[in-house]
Amino acid sequence: MTVTRFAPSPTGRLHVGNIRTALHNWLLARKAGGRFMLRIDDTDAARSREEYVTAIRADLAWLGIDADGEERQSERLTLYEDAFAALKTAGRVYACYETAQELELKRKIQLGRGLPPIYDRGALALSDAERAAKEAEGIAPHWRFKLDHDEPITWEDGVRGAQKFDAATLSDPVIRRADGSWLYMLPSTVDDLDMGVTDVLRGEDHVSNTAVQIQMFTALNAARGGVQHLPHFAHEALLVGSEGKLSKRLGSLGCDAFRERGVEPSAIVAMLARLGTSLPVEPIAERAALIETFDLSTFGRAPARFDDTELERINAAIVHQMDFVAVSDRLPAGMDEAGWHAIRPNLAHIGEAADWWRLVTGPVQSGEFSDEDRAFLSQAASALQWSEDPWRALTSALKEATGRKGKALFLPLRRALTGMDHGPDMGELLPLIGESEARARLENAAAD
């Protein structure tokens, strides 16, 4: 069974890049009939906040991204200890004693010599006595995973194709801090093994992490004597802003910002589902259609451009598809299905419905009219006869009686009845205004 996961750290709110990653993993799992897991990466106790855990769950629920299970790294620490012990026994982790300042100096020296700034494995050259002396000085070690330099690291990436890394060009990653806390690499690998994750889909900024973790998977499988397990990896292009550069703004654009703007969750999903693929971004509200067409082979290598204007276009089109039942609890008092149907085509956001509904409930300011138009409106008030289609009946009668047509016929009537030069279809709006109110508005406009 396909198992994917979304693994946010609860150190802040989800932003649009996180949301896209979660959505794509959800789509991948749903298309395969598999499971989508939420994993809260909260091993950083100093920065993790419970309110962010709650917010992550709420944001995913608002977007309709439902998880089939949840794990928290803070509750899995024993698993990491066991894995660490196994790797230590196998000689794949080692203690290091350099300070941050010493490591930075090494990097500067290497760069000055035109060498890649990777860790020189100086800690491996320490004798037992030297290590004991450092610990006697009160220097607690941090721990690195020892990469195997003998074999190239290769995998077939679901987006990037064949990948190959020379392990000797990578630093042995720090997996545990001197205070005993964990960094990302080892817990993530342990969890993917333990949770049976089959597909890891994430941003291209994790490509080198994947190279390292592939060796961790192999080492853990060997240390445990278990069946070889290695997920399929895919790395999608990162989001950029409409200006074509990585945007700090995208890092703060989250569900709260979307909600404040009145953006529908289905519009966000429709846009992000296909952003960065060869498929057209369309206002598709049905999740089944997005699931069916989701395919990693459509993903490109070019940065995926997030454009607010495009999101607004998608949102308006989504709103225009929504039926009354789906929005009734968000509409102004008194607006029924006929009112929604009349006003819906003019909306970019559902929150604008109240402004348009005032055209029905009034009052309206019709503005100033010429003497000729006032006489025309007085004639319209007298000619108004209620029927199944009062607008058509009124305009037909006035056209025959006055010879007016086009703008000269329709615009004064719209202004008198709504106070606007544009808006909902008058054939739908006039029955909502009602006969007596419509006649009163025409008479008032004629008298002003």
**DSSP string computed for 322-380:** --HHHHGGGSPTT--HHHHHHHGGG-SSGGGHHHHHHHHH---------HHHHHHHHHH
* Cα gap 152→139, rounded to integer Å: 35
Amino acid identity, position 445: A
In this structure, is the dihedral angle defined by the CA atoms of residues 323, 325, 331 and 332, taken in order, positive or negative? positive
- Inter-residue contact 402 to 424 (CB < 8 Å): no
Strands, E assignment, 26-183: 35-40, 69-72, 93-96, 142-145, 153-157, 161-165, 174-176
* Cα gap 2→232, rounded to integer Å: 10
- Inter-residue contact 324 to 341 (CB < 8 Å): yes
Number of helices (H), then strands (E), in the chain: 19, 12
* Cα gap 275→73, rounded to integer Å: 30
164 is in an annotated binding site: no
* Cα gap 419→442, rounded to integer Å: 11
Q: Which of 312, 308, 305 is nearest to 262 (CA)?
A: 312
The alpha carbon of residue 361 and the mean position of all alpha carbons in its chain are separated, in whole angstroms, by 38
Rg (CA), the chain: 32
Q: Which of 291, 392, 240 is nearest to 65 (CA)?
A: 291
- Inter-residue contact 14 to 59 (CB < 8 Å): yes
* Cα gap 220→213, rounded to integer Å: 10
Q: What is the DSSP letter of 206?
A: G
Going by C-beta distance under 8 Å and a sequence separation of 6 or more, which residues neighbour residue 288?
Answer: none
Amino acid identity, position 132: A
Q: Annotated binding site for ATP, which residues?
A: 248
Q: Annotated binding site, which residues?
A: 248
